[in-house]
Amino acid sequence: MDQFQFREFVSSTFGHPSLQDYDDFCRRMAPVKFTTDTTGTCKVGTVILHSDCKGTVSAGDVWFCELSAMASRKYIGKPIQKVDAEFMTGLSKDQMQSVAEALWNQSKDAVVPYLESWFKDEKGLISEEEHRADLDALKEMYSTEIAELEGEHNAELSGKDEELASLRREYEERISSMAAEMDAAMRTIDRLNNEIVTLRRERDAVRSATDLVRAVPPPDTMMRTGEDTLSMSSLADGTYTVTVSADGRRIRMWPDPKGRAVCESGSMTLRGLGAISPFDGVVALRYALDGSTGVYSVDLCGSGSA
């Protein structure tokens, strides 16, 4: 406790002496541990109880005393305030801290035994050995209950472990089953994909064959094969005379040595045919043959035999 704090403590605890005596009063205050009912010790030396105060203190008491120098390290002490349970509990928190610091700093050796005895007597505190004995008694008292609780806890944990293991097995079985189903589904998908590929190939082959069949005309079918050409396997080689109808939709042709249209290997060239009837692609033409005259009547706009 520094000088300022001690002055504040003295002021608040023992009243307010006059200003001129205040500093001197503070310097003369000290806690004293009385070893007999007339003598005691403090930090500065030996204290003899003031003759007017005999019967006030007892051996073992601690008092705040006003000291008067008598000789080297010997003082006359006038008790001002006994440091006991009533005094300590009546202090404010700050005052109690100040008292504790003052006692500790100035009379630690004298105060410690007193405090130990006081706390034990006044507060009912027990020693470490007594405390350990009580703990051992409590442990023995509750050991059976603790063992039962541990057994219940372990049984509960064991049950939870079994439940968890069962759930894990069920999960693994479901995963295995789902994996098998997935494998079967993938095999089915692969099979269906192969079947689709095969069907597409068959479809493409059928389409190709159909296109080929369509491209090959039946026997004795007259075809428009070019801008100025007609073809038919039964047309005889030679020259033909060709006439065109007024509407340009039909032609008539017959074998004539003086004709200008020439047929070779079943293909006849008719120059100017494209100007009369534009060519839109290979197409079968309807025609009629007069067997008695050998004259072909051909419909340039139709298809099939006439």
Cα(288)–Cα(269) distance, integer angstroms = 19
Cα(24)–Cα(159) distance, integer angstroms = 80
- For the four alpha carbons of 209, 214, 217 and 219, in that order, the dihedral sign comes to positive
Per residue in 31-64, pLDDT (tens digit) is 889 999 999 998 888 999 988 888 889 998 998 8
Average pLDDT over residues 54-78: 88
Cα(86)–Cα(303) distance, integer angstroms = 136
Decide: 15 and 8 in contact? Cβ < 8 Å: no
Local structure of residue 59 (DSSP, 8 states): T
Cα(60)–Cα(65) distance, integer angstroms = 15
Better-predicted residue by pLDDT, 124 or 43? 43
Residue 104: its H or E element: helix 93-123
The pLDDT of residue 111 is: 62
Instruction: Write down the residue that tokens 């060239």 correspond to.
Output: 269
Lowest mean pLDDT among 11-25, 107-121, 254-268: 11-25
Whole-number Cα distances in Å, 247 to 125, 186, 192, 225, 276: 139, 67, 59, 22, 9
CA 231 vs. chain centroid, Å, equals 81
Nearest C-alpha neighbor of 248 from the set 273, 269, 280: 273
The pLDDT of residue 19 is: 43
Task: Name the β-bridge partners of 45.
Answer: 42
pLDDT at 224 over 70: yes
* CATH number of 3-123, picked from 2.40.50.140, 3.90.226.10, 3.40.50.1110, 3.30.465.10: 2.40.50.140
Decide: 277 and 289 in contact? Cβ < 8 Å: no
Lowest mean pLDDT among 22-31, 47-56, 109-118, 293-302: 109-118
Decide: 92 and 11 in contact? Cβ < 8 Å: no
The pLDDT of residue 148 is: 81
Instruction: Write down the residue that tokens 């307010």 correspond to.
Output: 16
Residue 274: its H or E element: helix 273-276
Q: Side-chain half-sphere of 150: how many Cα atoms within 13 Å?
A: 6
Dihedrals phi, psi of 62, to nearest 5 degrees: -120, 125
Better-predicted residue by pLDDT, 127 or 61? 61
Local structure of residue 233 (DSSP, 8 states): T
pLDDT at 145 over 60: yes
Per residue in 154-193, pLDDT (tens digit) is 888 888 888 999 999 999 999 999 999 999 999 999 999 9
Domains in the chain: boundaries: 3-123, 222-299
The pLDDT of residue 265 is: 93
Radius of gyration of the chain (CA): 68
The pLDDT of residue 235 is: 92
Cα(233)–Cα(231) distance, integer angstroms = 7
Per residue in 237-272, pLDDT (tens digit) is 999 999 999 998 999 999 999 999 999 999 999 999
Average pLDDT over residues 129-151: 79
- For the four alpha carbons of 135, 141, 144 and 146, in that order, the dihedral sign comes to negative
pLDDT at 99 over 80: no
